Amino acid sequence: MKLIAAVSADWGIGKDNQLLFSLPTDMKFFRTMTKGAAIIMGRRTLESFPGGKPLKGRENIVLSRDPSFCPEGVTVVRTLKDLPERPDAFVIGGEAIYRLLLDRCDTAYITKVDAVAPADRFLPDLDALPDWELAEQGEPIEENGLTFRFLTYRRRQEEAL
Ligand X SMILES: NC(=O)c1ccc[n+]([C@@H]2O[C@H](COP(=O)([O-])OP(=O)(O)OC[C@H]3O[C@@H](n4cnc5c(N)ncnc54)[C@H](OP(=O)(O)O)[C@@H]3O)[C@@H](O)[C@H]2O)c1
Residue numbers at the binding site for ligand X (CB under 6 A): 5-6, 13-14, 17-19, 41-45, 48, 63-66, 69, 78-80, 92-97, 100, 121
Shortest Å, Cβ 18 to ligand X: 5
Report the alpha-carbon distance of residue 149 to residue 157 in Å, rounded.
Answer: 25
Residues sharing a CB contact under 8 Å with residue 75, sequence separation 6 or more, in sequence order: 59, 60, 61, 62
> Residue 5 or residue 89: which is nearer to ligand X going by CB?
5
Q: Which is nearer to ligand X, 48 or 152 (CB)?
A: 48
Task: Work out how close the CB of 37 gets to ligand X at its nearest, in angstroms, rounded to a whole number.
Answer: 15
Give least dist CB 161 to ligand X, A: 27
Q: Judged by CB, which is closer to ligand X: 42, or 54?
A: 42
Q: What DSSP line would sit under 12-81, residue for residue?
A: EEEETTEES---HHHHHHHHHHHTTSEEEEEHHHHHHSGGGPPPTTSEEEEE---TT---TT-EEE-SGG
Cβ 38 vs Cβ 88: under 8 Å: yes
> In the complex with ligand X, which residue's Cβ is closer, 63 or 126?
63
The CB-of-113 to ligand X minimum distance in angstroms stands at: 9
